[in-house]
Structure formats: structure tokens, C-alpha cells
Chains A and B, each alone.
Chain A
Amino acid sequence: MSCDPERVTGLVDEALEPDDRAALAEHLEACPGCRQQAEEERALRARLRELPPAVLPAGLEFSVRRRLRGSGGRRLVRWLLPVAATLALATFWGRAFAPFVAWELALEHRHCWGQPQLPAKVFSNDPAAVAAFFERRGTPVPVLPDRAGGLELIGGRPCRLIDRGVAHLYYGNQDKRLSVFVVPGSVRLDRSLRTKRGGESIALLRVGGSVVGLVSDDSASVEAFSRALTVSVARYDQ
């Protein structure tokens, strides 16, 4: 029989009929090329199986369960859940539990920067281009600097915080990273909030009509951005 590389693949995977398998095994005895292909495919299979698995995002199981609960259940529960959720959200946003918002932003920051590739939906160092991207998605972004504290704008992606679309912008240089979050609507915040969660420094500031959250593991970068934002807002307001 002549060489048939596809069937050699079938042989490696033990997916051939017994007669076919016997005939091909006999061919391999006499054909170094096909034998080599089979050996290499087996070695490749072994290496593929040893690839490290993708890291499961921390909140995924919770989100899946929540969505399943929201989509099914008994009729009364189905009707009650959105009502309860709306009430809870109204309470949450109305009372503006800023430390909780800060905590959620820190989680989001860690999640994004922890990826092997930054999950940006827009890559640009031009604040106007990034702002236009978010504007098209219904999240107005106030005037932002293209750099501050030695960190440069990289890009951003829209994400969700509870029920709101939030703009997440990435700034960084070779060794520092900072997230700027623009949270639309109201969060009760007298002037500003500074806090720490794990290794991250977080600042929540009111900028124009939005609340801006800054998260970084470098507190000096957070301070540099707080100043840059205050200055740019002052200019914006003039």
C-alpha cells in the first residue's frame, strides 16, 4: 500500500477499523517516513496534554450560577428576583457604599492585569481615541491625561460593575501598572476616598459628572494620577 498520512493520524488516535489498522501497521513496519510521522504525532499529543490549563477567573462560577438562577426557577421567584435586585441596587447605588465600589474595582484591576495578555478592546495611547471608543458605547469619559507619573495610556475595555457599564483604562510602563475606572452616575462620595485592599492602593475621586477610580499596586502612581486628574479637571472647568 502507498503512504496515507491522514490515516496515520487515525492510527495514532486508534480511530481506524480493525482491518484498516492491521494493514496500516504492516505498512509502517516497512515505511520509515510514516513511522516517523506516527512517533512525532504521539510525542506532540503528549506535549499538548501537558500544557498548563487556562486559569479559571475567580468570579466565573459565581456569575454562571447567578445567571442560571436569573433565567429559570419558579414563576414567583422569576418575578420576585428582578424586583429584589432592583431594590438592592437602588439601595446600593443610592447609599453609595464607596468602600465596596473600591473593592470591586481592585478585583477587576487584578483580574485584567493578571491575564497573560491585557484584555483591552481598544489599544491606543491617544486619550481622545480611547474616549471616542467609550463614547460610542455609551460611557462618557472625562478629560484624561495621556500620561502621568511616568505611566502611559495603553488602552481600555468596557466592563460591568454590578449593573453599570464602566470604562476601564489601562496605564503602564515597564514595571508599574495602573487602572483608571470611570463609573457613570452617582456614587455618594463627599470629596474623595483613599483606601488599600491587599497590595493595591485605591482612590475614588469625583471628576465632572462621574466617579473615577484609580487602582495600582504603586501608591505613588495613584497619587500622581489624582493630581493629574484634579489639574485636568480644573482646566476643563475654566
Chain B
Amino acid sequence: MTREERFEAEALPLLRSLYGVAYRLTRNAHDAEDLVQETYLKAYRAFDRFTPGTSIRSWLFTILYRLRTDAFRKAGRSVKTQELTGEGPGVPPPQAALASGGEDLQRALDALPEVFRTAVLLRDIEDLSYQEIAEVLRVPIGTVMSRIHRGRALLRESLAERKP
């Protein structure tokens, strides 16, 4: 098997998963496609540095996230600055808020600051472990826990507000 065949066999089955994350990060099909293509291209060029036996999925997410933050940096913005907004909800919303339709949740997720959205996406939709998320985002595990906590709290708060 050539290097190219090995890469395609291991990495391409994850296209749907990668596109899903890219789409939820960029909230735009065109940008998501660009991001996914760049991720594959960069991963292919760096494939020699990938350690066999480790998770190729987290490795690809790491590259995708790096490209995304690089794009922010080039545009003069920072994903991290969004972390400073708000202090998180004080009062937990009622359980009933969580029973509404999926559109509400989708909108609430889209409205989440990207730094929290990324953590929640990787944990709750992609089912990565804290350790894997810490490697993707290059932050300590405590920060992963804190971001997931804040993300979920904001989601619960937003869903409770929408509920009449």
C-alpha cells in the first residue's frame, strides 16, 4: 500500500465527521468545504508525522482546529477573546426547557461563542474524551472541563429563555 493509499483508507472515512464539525464551526457550507479541503491537504503533507496506533480522528481535528484559529489570527481576531464575554448563568434553567424541538437547540448552539461551541461539539457530538479534546485545543484538561461546563450552561440558559 502506498503512502497515498494508506492516507486515503484511514482519513477519508472521517470526511463526514470532519465536515460536520467544520460546518458547525463556520456555520457556512462554503467555508466548511474550504476548511475540510485544507485540513486534508495539510494532513496528507504531514502524514509522516502521524503516530500509527493513535487516533487519526483527533489528529485530523487538531489540524482542522489549528487552521481555523490561524484563519482567525490572520483576520485579526482571536477565538480566545470570546471567552471573556459573560460570566455564565447564575440560576439553572428548568428541566422543561430541554424538551423543546431540535431547531431551538441548533439555534442556541450556533449562537454559542466559538470557544465554547468547539468544546461542546467535540465532547457531546463527536464524543471525544477530555484528554483528546485537550490535545486538539492544546489546553489543560481543567480548561476543557471549564469550557464544556460554560458551553452547556449557556445552552441551557438560552433554551430556557426561548421557552415561553
Contacts and interface: CB of A to CB of B under 8 A. Distances in A.
A52 B103 CA distance: 10
B115 interface: no
Nearest to A68: B44
Contact of A51 (B7, B33, B98, B125): B125
A67 B40 contact: yes
A49 B125 contact: yes
Contact of B37 (A50, A64, A72): A64
A47 interface: yes
Contacts of A117: 27-29
Interface in A51-71: 51-54, 56-57, 60-61, 63-65, 67-69, 71
A72 B44 contact: yes
A47 B98 contact: yes
B40 A48 contact: no
A104 interface: no
A83 interface: no
Interface in B133-164: 141, 145-146, 148-149, 152-153, 155-156
Contacts of B105: 47-48, 51
Interface residues of A, number: 44
**A contact patch SS:** helix
B16 A43 contact: no
A50 B149 contact: no
Interface string A144-180: 0000000000000100000000000000000000000
A60 B27 CA distance: 17
Interface stretch (B18-26, B49-57, B62-70, B73-81): B18-26
Contacts of A61: 12, 15
A26 interface: no
B7 A68 contact: yes
Given A13-B123, A39-B95, A115-B29, A56 B37 contact: no
Interface in B1-44: 3-4, 7-8, 12, 15-16, 19-20, 23-24, 27-30, 32-33, 36-37, 40-41, 44
Interface stretch (A2-10, A186-194, A215-223): A2-10
Contacts of A5: 149, 153
A37 interface: yes
A60 B149 contact: no
B145 A15 contact: yes
B102 interface: yes
A54 B92 contact: no
Nearest to A116: B29
A57 B19 CA distance: 9
A64 B145 contact: no
Contact of B33 (A10, A33, A57, A72): A57
Contacts of A126: none
Q: Which of B102, B141, B148, B149 has the most chain A CB atoms closer than 10 A to its own CB?
A: B149
Contacts of B8: 65, 68
Contact of B3 (A56, A72, A111): A72
Interface in A75-118: 111, 115, 117
B129 interface: yes
Interface of A: 5-10, 13, 15, 33, 36-37, 39-41, 43-45, 47-54, 56-57, 60-61, 63-65, 67-69, 71-73, 111, 115, 117, 119, 121, 157
11 contacts: A7-B145, A13-B145, A33-B92, A40-B92, A48-B120, A51-B125, A64-B12, A67-B41, A68-B4, A73-B4, A117-B29
